[in-house]
């Protein structure tokens, strides 16, 4: 006991290292979700329901479906798209609504900035949390796919890291956009951007269905890059295009993070 008390009086406060700070922010979010696990779980449901209704339901009546010049079951086509979508959902939920609430209403970051934490710590920590949430959703989704026999290649193991990349890109960009939002109404734009991406990013049908110009547009969206990356991994059809997707997603993540940090400086350190 005496020993402990000495530690109590002698331990000295200090600035935390970047890695520690990320761990602490993630821990704080885990604590706060411990009482809201139901909210956490429902975010996962949407892509699973789509997999069942469209991938499997609609899949029954789609025949002779070709991907990469090979015949493939429609549900095998849809499933990896849903992994990507679940990563996007998971990351965006906290990066947009959650982040806005902490920033504008809860004054949570004001509290953190009274400690040795910096705006960069806050940006990295919150992004790590979004990423973790996206990662958990996708990992759970891969388990669902495995149970249903939808995984055709060992490459599929890499789907989870790929999903983390998707989480990174969407988390960072989502947070960056959120710093510009003025009220909850502005989030209509997020929904407005997410839904078409979800429906048209080669999630339910290949981009070859589009005219050339539109195809180019779609190929530039982050969800498309994520969907294709996941599909290449689950079907084992890796190519140079996969590397491009990886670089693209990482670049979005890093760029977003830089913007978030700058905006937090502007908004919080007045």
List residues binding another protein (CB under 8 A). 4-5, 7-9, 11, 13-16, 20-21, 24, 27-28, 31-32, 35, 106-108, 110-118, 268-270
Q: Which residue, 66 or 107, has its beta carbon nearer to another protein? A: 107
> Nearer to another protein by C-beta: 11 or 61?
11
Least Cβ distance, residue 25 to another protein (angstroms): 9
DSSP category for residue 105: I
Residue nearer to another protein on the CB measure, 112 or 202? 112
Contact status, residue 82 vs residue 203, Cβ threshold 8 Å: yes
Give min distance, CB of 101 to another protein, in A: 10
Smaller CB distance to another protein: residue 4 or 147?
4
Q: Which two tokens stand for residue 109?
A: 């970051």
Task: Please provide the DSSP assignment of 176-239 as one string.
Answer: HHHTT--SGGGGHHHHHHHHHHHHHTTTSS-GGGS-HHHHHHHHTSHHHHHHHHHHHHHHT---
Q: For 68, left (φ over 0), alpha (ψ -120 to 50), or beta? A: left
In the bound complex, what is the minimum distance in angstroms from residue 180's beta carbon to another protein? Answer: 14
Q: Residue 224 in contact with residue 140, Cβ under 8 Å?
A: no
> Which residue lies nearer to another protein by CB, 30 or 247?
30
DSSP secondary structure letters along 50-73: HIIIIIIIGGGG--S-EETTEE--
In the complex, the smallest distance separating the C-beta of residue 188 from another protein, rounded to whole angstroms, is: 22
Which residue, 230, 255, 222, 90, is CA-closest to 162?
A: 230
Which of 203, 78, 86 is closest to 141 using CA atoms?
86
Q: Provide, rounded to whole angstroms, the least separation between the CB of residue 21 and another protein.
A: 8
**Between residues 112 and 156, which has the closer beta carbon with respect to another protein?**
112
Least distance (Å) from another protein to the CB of residue 187? 20
What's the angle, vertex CA 52, arms to CA 143 and CA 60, rounded to 5? Answer: 120
Q: Where are the alpha helices (DSSP H) in 94-202?
A: 99-100, 108-113, 119-147, 159-178, 188-200
Query: Nearest approach, Cβ of 52 to another protein (angstroms)?
Result: 33
Residue nearer to another protein on the CB measure, 21 or 230: 21
């Amino acid at each position: 006991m005496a020993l402990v008390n000495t530690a109590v009086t002698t331990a000295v406060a200090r600035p935390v290292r970047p890695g520690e700070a990320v761990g602490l922010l993630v821990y704080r979010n885990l604590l706060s979700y411990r009482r809201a696990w139901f909210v956490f779980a429902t975010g996962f449901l949407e892509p699973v329901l789509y997999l069942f209704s469209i991938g499997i339901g609609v899949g029954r009546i789609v025949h002779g479906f070709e991907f990469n010049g090979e015949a493939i079951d429609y549900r095998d086509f849809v499933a990896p798209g849903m992994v990507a979508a679940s990563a996007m959902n998971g990351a965006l939920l906290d990066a947009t609504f959650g982040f806005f609430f902490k920033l504008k209403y809860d004054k949570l970051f004001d509290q953190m900035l009274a400690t040795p934490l910096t705006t960069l710590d806050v940006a990295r920590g919150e992004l790590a949390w979004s990423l973790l949430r996206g990662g958990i959703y996708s990992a759970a989704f891969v388990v669902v796919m495995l149970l249903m026999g939808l995984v055709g290649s060992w490459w599929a193991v890499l789907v989870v890291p790929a999903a983390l990349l998707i989480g990174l890109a969407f988390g960072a960009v989502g947070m960056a956009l959120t710093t510009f939002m003025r009220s909850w109404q502005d989030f209509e734009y997020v929904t407005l951007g997410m839904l078409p991406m979800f429906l048209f990013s080669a999630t339910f049908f290949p981009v070859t269905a589009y005219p050339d110009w539109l195809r180019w547009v779609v190929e530039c969206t982050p969800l498309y890059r994520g969907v294709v990356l996941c599909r290449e991994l689950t079907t084992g059809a890796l190519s140079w295009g996969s590397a491009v997707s990886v670089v693209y997603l990482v670049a979005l993540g890093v760029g977003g993070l830089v913007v978030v940090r700058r905006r937090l400086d502007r908004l919080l350190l007045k």
